[in-house]
Chain A
Amino acid sequence: MIEIRQLRKRFRDQQVLDGVDLTIENGESLVIIGRSGGGKSVLLKHIVGLTHPDSGEVLVNGQDIAHLNERELLGVRRKFGMLFQSAALFDSLTVEENIAFVLARERNHTPEEIARRVAEALDMVEMPGIQKKKPAELSGGMRKRVGLARAIIYRPEVVFYDEPTTGLDPVVSDSIDKLIVRVCERLKVTTVVITHDMRSMQTVGRRVAMLHQGRIYATGSPQELMAATDPVISRFVRGISDEKVHTF
């Protein structure tokens, strides 16, 4: 279980997180929504320990990771898998080397075992046979799938997705959403997705938390948020801005 308590973070004169409280239960599928620049990715980076908060706690199975140093965090992060918005594949390595990265560095797996597990991970993301390709040869959707294969090969307890459908066409976005659901069900992992794509939210999420003005503004099922009458939630899920259309 992950518990976030009164998390605060300021960048220069901007208070990005202003007392976030959130609990993520084991095995659940949580979607965190909010406006662009609203601090969703910053919150995610705090949960995996990539950023340190100004104050507050991030408890992973009861251990506060907010104040651990980089080496102490390495062990905690072994429980996490993360798919970055840009996939963040290592350019200089092949697809196989990218996916096998963690296993190869652990030095206790045979080359045959690593090759078998890479093939299994690629099968799971429906990208078989591309082991020898370089990331530059892959499309955006393929890169995300390879990024996901790299995140799940070592069987993490929690998989984080940072805007997994951003920059993809609607069809590829839908296939990525379905892939996230499939991975969650097959591996029985906790899933946390950051998105502002309402279709993704409804496909992937069993519970949704909305981040607004640096705090968790609302939580509920996707259906509850879609039907909410609160103006902040309603305008966000329907995609209505405050701007007026001017006619000249």
Chain B
Amino acid sequence: MTSVPVKVINSVLSGLGRFSLMVAEVVRSLTTQRLSGRDLLDQLYFIGVKSQTVVLVTGAFTGMVLCAQTYFQFHKVKMDSATLAVVSVSMCGELGPVLTALMVAGRVGASMAAELGTMRVTEQIDALRTLATHPIDYLVVPRVVATMIAVPLLTAESITIGILAAYLVGVHLLQIDPGYSIVNMQRFTDHRDVLMGFIKAIIFGGIIATTGCYKGMHCGQGAEGVGHATTEAVVYASIAILMSNFFLTLLLTRLLALT
């Protein structure tokens, strides 16, 4: 009889192995197979265009609340005009990419796991294979590429709308001086902050799509299996985004300091 901890370790390691093999197959497909433009556009529309509302609302309200909280603290030490600079730096390097990725993970990652999981349990993935089509080429690669393109664009949108909303709240509601605020914002927000946000967003896009596709392609049987896969896709992607964000911040800060 195998003990429970050994079974859990076996399960985790075999899962990591399968995930690594899938990622390796995605890279192989990208370098050896031709990507269908139509499949990519379909996914870009679903992931990018259809995620606009949720990303815009998240970006706007995050910028607004960050502006208000920062102002309340800075006002005590007469640093009102630095409020928007804090919002700008935070939105570009941390909150913009992380919150956008978490929202996309909830919407798109779950959808990928559910769609591919349903295809698996209804033998549609086996049917693809009998039709001489590699499931990675047809199902996974367009989703991974589209997510890695869409998430940075959505992040840029979220950052822009967040800073704009913060400006409106700061200048029109909290009466911060607009001239000094803009000067400080430009002074403290470096191109490295923007670059860091974009690099993070590309990596987060990869995490969301590979996790969603992996969970769907390896889901259990029946409706219960698809349900579990969907939940796990969102939970694992969210945890991976939050954990990798910390390490990416440390790594990118050092790397970008060299530029």
Contact = CB atoms under 8 A, between A and B. Distances in A.
A172 interface: no
A70 B134 contact: yes
A150 B133 CA distance: 14
A77 B127 CA distance: 11
Interface stretch (B7-15, B118-126, B147-155, B206-214): B118-126
Interface stretch (A78-86, A122-130, A187-195, A217-225): A78-86
Nearest to A102: B131
A50 B124 contact: no
A90 B127 contact: yes
Given A86-B122, A88-B122, A74 B132 contact: yes
A50 B133 contact: no
Interface in B88-132: 118-119, 122-124, 126-127, 129-132
A88 B134 contact: no
B130 A77 contact: yes
A90 B124 contact: yes
A71 interface: yes
A119 B127 CA distance: 21
B127 A84 contact: yes
A105 B129 CA distance: 13
Contacts of A88: 122-124, 126-127
Interface string A70-109: 1101110110111011101111000000000110010000
A80 B134 contact: no
A45 B133 CA distance: 16
A48 interface: yes
A84 B126 CA distance: 9
Q: Which of B118, B124, B131 is the most central at the interface, judged by chain A CB atoms within 10 Å of its CB?
A: B131
A233 to B, nearest CB: 30
A74 B131 CA distance: 8
14 contacts: A49-B129, A50-B130, A77-B129, A84-B123, A84-B126, A86-B122, A88-B124, A89-B127, A90-B124, A102-B131, A102-B133, A105-B133, A105-B138, A150-B131
